Amino acid sequence: MVFLKLGESQLDTWWIRKRDKLLELAEQYPNAYVYDLESIRSAATAMSSLRSVKRVLYAVKANFNPDVIKVLASVGIDFDCVSLGEIEHLNTVLPDLDKNRILFTPNFAPRDEYVWAIGRGITVTIDNLYPLQQWPELFANREIFIRIDPEQGDGHHEYVVTSGSGSKFGVPLNEVSELKRLATAAGAEVVGIHAHTGSGIVNPKNWQTVANILARVAKHFSGVKTLDLGGGIGVPERTADAPFNLQELDSLLTNFCSDYPQYDLWLEPGRYLVAVAGVLLTRVTQIKGKGADCYIGVNTGINSLIRPALYDAYHEIVNLSRMNEGASKSATVVGPICEAGDKLGINRLLPETQENDVFLIANAGAYGHVMSSNYNLRDIPPEIVICD
């Protein structure tokens, strides 16, 4: 790891520019998630500017903070929900939101959830044959989306690969003919074909490949208007990493649209829109040497940010109090949770650190607070938004 000093980032790292503000917040809160709304707006605007993509739907599960939802809606982003709770939350935050801006994509949900969503005129995605086999009456005279398994997945960890062998998601390609028969028998019209192959994917060609697979599937259904390519667009994990090449993605998908002008393309980003915009602030509690190892303890752990333990995810960790000081020691950053896996960062090169220093954990705007818990009866950090 290369230690980062002020001004050395290859990215427009907002938390470097707003360091003083973050240090002020750290004086008020022992731990806190902080979201920069302008960073979210910038990412959403960039995604919305893709010429090849008709609609962008935000994966609400990534971060459902009300201010985050509002800023995304304000720039024309629509919403992909995976539970009734997410839909109800949207309706609370955005009471005037048109139901046509919501896509409901549940997985192994009970029958009642389909009934609830359909009864409110929300488009539903079906990801296996069972609903059409067992509850065909629900879909009579309804327009539906079908989630297909392209049978090739990708992602930064096996737990986020959502296609291919071993994945619970989507209708296998060899069941498409039976799917068509069941949909026809139920009186449902398939108007959209959907897929999602994983998370943290950095090769733009992934979505071109998915689009071509979905186009082949769409030929089985005369009513298909939309190919939903899912999300999973990667973000820079390390500060020196290059950003995802949106221009290349747009070029590839524009070529696809030239070949298949009858279809609208949708994307469903989650982390891309909000991950970089969020940081987790915490304070150093203790420093411990154990043989050749050094441990720096902080005031929060996997109760607040489970991604490092669950996905072996990498998050930059910065001593915000001493960003202008040189790195002098390798240490593992750990939390106060009574689990051996409560490690937020392993062998990180950091400056000489002292108790009460403020640490910043980057890329925490997605799948951070939403996956937090009161494990060990530790408090969940509050969420703070900044927009200046």
pLDDT in tens, 183-227: 999 999 999 999 988 777 888 999 999 999 999 999 999 999 999
How confident is the model at residue 3, as a pLDDT? 34
pTM: 0.92
Angstrom distance (rounded) from CA 182 to CA 186: 6
How confident is the model at residue 152, as a pLDDT? 64
How confident is the model at residue 159, as a pLDDT? 45
Burial class of residue 167 in the structure, from the number of CB atoms within 10 Å of its CB (0-12 exposed, 13-18 middle, 19+ buried):
middle
Beta carbons of 211 and 167 less than 8 angstroms apart: no
Q: Tell me the pLDDT tens digit for each residue of 47-68.
A: 999 999 999 999 999 999 999 9
Handedness of CA 362, 366, 367, 372 (dihedral sign): positive
As annotated, the residues of the chain forming the CATH 2.40.37.10 domain(s) are: 14-30+278-364
CATH class, 37-273 region: alpha beta
> At 266, which helix (H) or strand (E)?
strand 264-267
Average confidence (pLDDT) over 163-173: 77
How confident is the model at residue 4, as a pLDDT? 40
Lowest mean pLDDT among 149-153, 263-267, 366-370: 149-153
Pairing of strands 123-126, 143-149: parallel
- Give the count of beta carbons closer than 10 Å to the beta carbon of residue 223: 13
How confident is the model at residue 155, as a pLDDT? 43
Angstrom distance (rounded) from CA 208 to CA 214: 10
Residues labelled as active-site residues: 338
How confident is the model at residue 157, as a pLDDT? 40
How confident is the model at residue 241, as a pLDDT? 84
- Put residue 19 in one of left, alpha, beta given phi > 0 → left and psi -120 to 50 → alpha: alpha
As annotated, the residues of the chain forming the CATH 3.20.20.10 domain(s) are: 37-273
* Amino acid identity at 198: G
How confident is the model at residue 12, as a pLDDT? 58
Average per-residue pLDDT in the chain? 92
Looking at per-residue pLDDT, the higher value among 36 and 167 belongs to 36
Residue 10: pLDDT band (50, 70, 90) is: very low
Q: Tell me the pLDDT tens digit for each residue of 276-304.
A: 999 999 999 999 999 999 999 999 999 99
DSSP secondary structure of 25-72: HHHH-SSEEEEEHHHHHHHHHHHHT-TT-SEEEEEGGG---HHHHHHH
Q: Tell me the pLDDT tens digit for each residue of 104-140.
A: 999 999 999 999 999 999 999 999 999 999 999 999 9
Predicted confidence (pLDDT) at residue 163 exceeds the cutoff of 70: no
Predicted confidence (pLDDT) at residue 346 exceeds the cutoff of 90: yes
Angstrom distance (rounded) from CA 128 to CA 147: 8
Looking at domain 14-30+278-364, its CATH superfamily turns out to be Lyase, Ornithine Decarboxylase; Chain A, domain 1 (2.40.37.10)
